[in-house]
């Protein structure tokens, strides 16, 4: 009960809350006295209504979210013991991507109480978006130490290790074990018998939560078509949230031999459905990224199970039989639970992009300086990347363009600027491009940069394929993990040896030599797309033949 309100008003408000009448609650609050509207509970309730009610368009929803954020902040500042207001503020801040004040408030509260699960969890998520990977790992570890980790947190804890080069593969495998040990056992009696039929058309299953307009699908769809044309049956096990279904979902449905929606099914029902479909090989396209259901593979849903595309580190699950690599990635197999299958040239092949988007002249010839760029998720721009790129900006007459592959707020940009300034780089050297909704506009932005810089240790994948298509070569350092060797593999397949470095010194020396020969760089820019089209990067026929030959050896 709210003691500042009369019993009559409390009763009316309770009725509106019970009926989830968000518009009614908002109107009721607006009818209260000004002093009553300032009650922390009322401020928090009004904020909750603004983000809970259905609105007509995106612009209105954005405005309501901003207003809700201010209301939650005001409620908490009026009453620092009103923890629900702080939680609501943190949650909405993750949606508006505005972390300026909430991160201070969360840290202050944590200092006061020492540990609070939700507060630590919010700090982990916010710091990830800010690119503070070590802090994120520390927060997740704190939750794990307190035995408060949910499945989601354990999965995130594994995934985040890919963004740091401070940990060995052994340390990574240890964190995998924490998630794997949390998977509940299922009695054999509840599962259909796993069977394998000879002399039948082979059935290849693919599990994903991203059968939609997602980067992974640009590497998958032609392979599905090719499998169908080569006497295989392809079965999609679709865990995509129905609200994200789009035109790519529709196109994929047309190309798979069979389509099974499993979003509504529990583990037992899903494993039985896969076994009932008598799948010969089941591919996991998710790993520890968003929407994972690695439990299905732990329970052995198919005779042969393979990790590919959507995640390129070990799952740590012994029932995951193989992981697909190529001659360049995954040079050290130690602490991988999977056996390694190597495709002949490259681990994945992108569909050709829009040929109508032309490659422009080398920007350096017009600007009088070299423009470096990275269009990767800002979380990939590690402290190591910033230190190296800062040395590059000091050594060469140049500027840097950054564009995140996901939505980024001014807070994230300011955090990056601060890190560059700490390395002696002025903010005038760095330009941010806004995230574009159109793929066409996104690709055109590559025309603004001369050379792309690969992130360390989590290399770009899709962004590197895109850059190459647009005539922009990518400078990379050979790392130790699969994810830190994407750039190495791509450049080896393009025979761009001078864009591959074994360490930071060679990276800087190579960059200086390349930038001193702008005519050669301009010539490469004009020819890189045609070179890429003929290479394994975009040669779907060659890739799919290699892929099918690999599959046939397993059957």
pLDDT band at 305 (very low <50, low <70, confident <90, very high): very high
Kindly tell me if the per-residue pLDDT of 532 is higher than 60.
yes
CA atoms 125, 130, 131, 137: torsion sign: negative
Region class of 525: left (phi > 0), else alpha (psi between -120 and 50), else beta: alpha
Strand partners, 474: 452
d(CA 50, CA 33): 20
Q: How deeply is 440 buried, as exposed, middle or buried, from its count of CB atoms within 10 A (0-12, 13-18, 19+)? A: exposed
pLDDT band at 332 (very low <50, low <70, confident <90, very high): confident
User: Which pLDDT tens digit goes with each residue over 34-57?
Assistant: 999 999 999 999 999 999 988 878
Helix axes 518-534, 486-494, angle to 10 degrees: 90
State the average pLDDT for the chain: 94
Q: Give residue 389's pLDDT.
A: 98
Q: Give residue 5's pLDDT.
A: 87
CB atoms within 10 A of CB 384: 16
d(CA 286, CA 426): 39
Calculate mean pLDDT across residues 381-408. Answer: 93
Kindly tell me if the per-residue pLDDT of 180 is higher than 80.
yes
Domains belonging to the chain, first-starting first, are 7-159 (1.25.40.10), 200-342 (3.40.50.11380), 363-534 (3.40.50.2000)
d(CA 344, CA 536): 9
Q: Give residue 199's pLDDT.
A: 66
* Of the candidates 381, 370, 501, 471, the residue with the CA atom closest to the CA atom of residue 429: 370
Q: Give residue 6's pLDDT.
A: 87
In contact, 489 and 329? CB cutoff 8 Å: yes
Region class of 316: left (phi > 0), else alpha (psi between -120 and 50), else beta: left
Percent of residues, the chain, with pLDDT higher than 90: 87
Percent of residues, the chain, with pLDDT higher than 70: 99
Strands (DSSP E) found in 108-202: none
Kindly tell me if the per-residue pLDDT of 87 is higher than 80.
yes
Q: Give residue 381's pLDDT.
A: 95
Phi and psi angles of residue 322, each rounded to the nearest 5 degrees, phi first: -140, 160
Kindly tell me if the per-residue pLDDT of 293 is higher than 80.
yes
Instruction: List C-alpha distances in Å: 101 to 113, 140, 249, 255.
Output: 19, 21, 39, 48
CB atoms within 10 A of CB 304: 16
Predicted TM-score (pTM) of this structure: 0.92
SS (H, E, C) 517-554: CHHHHHHHHHHHHHHHHHCCCCCHHHHHHHHHHHHHHH
Least confident range of 15-24, 121-130, 478-487:
15-24
| C-alpha Rg value of the chain to the nearest Å | 26
Q: Give residue 438's pLDDT.
A: 87
Which residues 6+ apart lie within 8 Å of 359 measured at CB? 447, 470, 471, 525, 526, 528, 529
Q: Give residue 437's pLDDT.
A: 75
Cα 109 from chain centre: 29
Kindly tell me if the per-residue pLDDT of 291 is higher than 60.
yes
Kindly tell me if the per-residue pLDDT of 61 is higher than 90.
no
């Amino acid at each position: 009960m709210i003691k500042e309100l009369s019993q009559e008003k409390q009763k009316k408000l309770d009725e509106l809350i019970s009926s989830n009448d968000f518009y009614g609650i908002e109107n009721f609050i607006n009818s209260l006295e000004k002093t009553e509207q300032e009650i922390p509970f009322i401020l928090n309730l009004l904020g909750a209504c603004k983000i809970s009610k259905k609105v007509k368009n995106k612009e209105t929803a954005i405005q309501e979210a901003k207003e809700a954020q201010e209301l939650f902040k005001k409620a908490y500042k009026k009453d620092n013991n009103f923890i629900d207001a702080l939680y609501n503020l943190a949650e909405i801040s993750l949606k508006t991507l505005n972390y300026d004040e909430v991160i201070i408030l969360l840290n202050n509260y944590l200092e006061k109480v020492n540990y609070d699960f939700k507060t630590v969890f919010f700090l982990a998520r916010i710091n990830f978006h800010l690119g503070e990977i070590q802090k994120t790992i520390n927060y997740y570890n704190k939750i794990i130490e307190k035995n408060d980790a949910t499945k989601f947190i354990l999965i995130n804890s594994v995934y985040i290790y890919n963004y740091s080069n401070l940990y060995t593969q052994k340390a990574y495998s240890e964190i995998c074990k924490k998630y794997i040990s949390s998977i509940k056992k299922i009695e054999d009696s509840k599962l259909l018998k796993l069977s394998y039929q000879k002399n039948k058309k082979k059935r290849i299953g693919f599990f994903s939560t991203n059968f939609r307009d997602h980067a992974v699908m640009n590497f998958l769809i032609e392979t599905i078509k090719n499998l169908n044309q080569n006497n295989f049956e392809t079965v999609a096990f679709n865990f995509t949230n129905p609200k994200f279904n789009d035109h790519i979902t529709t196109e994929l449905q047309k190309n798979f031999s069979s389509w099974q929606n499993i979003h509504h099914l529990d583990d037992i029902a899903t494993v039985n459905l896969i076994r009932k479909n008598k799948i010969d090989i089941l591919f996991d396209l998710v790993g520890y990224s968003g929407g994972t259901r690695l439990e299905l593979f732990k329970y052995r849903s198919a005779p042969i199970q393979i990790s590919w595309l959507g995640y390129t580190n070990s799952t740590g699950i012994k029932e995951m039989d193989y992981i697909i690599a190529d001659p360049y990635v995954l040079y050290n197999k130690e602490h991988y639970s999977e056996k390694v299958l190597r495709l002949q040239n490259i681990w994945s092949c992108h569909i050709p992009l829009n040929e109508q988007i032309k490659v422009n002249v080398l920007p350096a010839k017009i600007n009088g300086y070299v423009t470096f760029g990275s269009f990767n998720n800002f979380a990939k721009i590690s402290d190591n990347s910033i230190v190296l790129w800062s040395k590059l900006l000091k050594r060469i007459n140049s500027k840097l363009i950054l564009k995140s592959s996901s939505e980024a707020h001014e807070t994230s940009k300011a955090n990056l600027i601060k890190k560059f300034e700490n390395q002696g780089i002025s903010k005038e050297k760095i330009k941010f491009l806004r995230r574009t909704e159109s793929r066409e506009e996104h690709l055109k932005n590559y025309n603004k940069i001369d050379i792309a810089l690969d992130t360390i240790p989590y290399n770009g994948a899709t962004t590197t394929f895109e850059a190459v298509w647009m005539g922009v070569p990518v400078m990379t350092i050979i790392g130790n993990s699969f994810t830190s060797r994407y750039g190495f593999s791509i450049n080896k397949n393009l025979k761009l040896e001078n864009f591959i470095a074994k360490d930071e010194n060679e990276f800087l020396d190579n960059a200086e030599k390349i930038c001193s020969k702008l005519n050669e760089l301009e010539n490469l820019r004009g020819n890189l797309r045609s070179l890429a089209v003929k290479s394994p990067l975009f040669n779907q026929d060659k890739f799919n033949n290699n892929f099918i030959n690999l599959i046939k050896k397993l059957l």
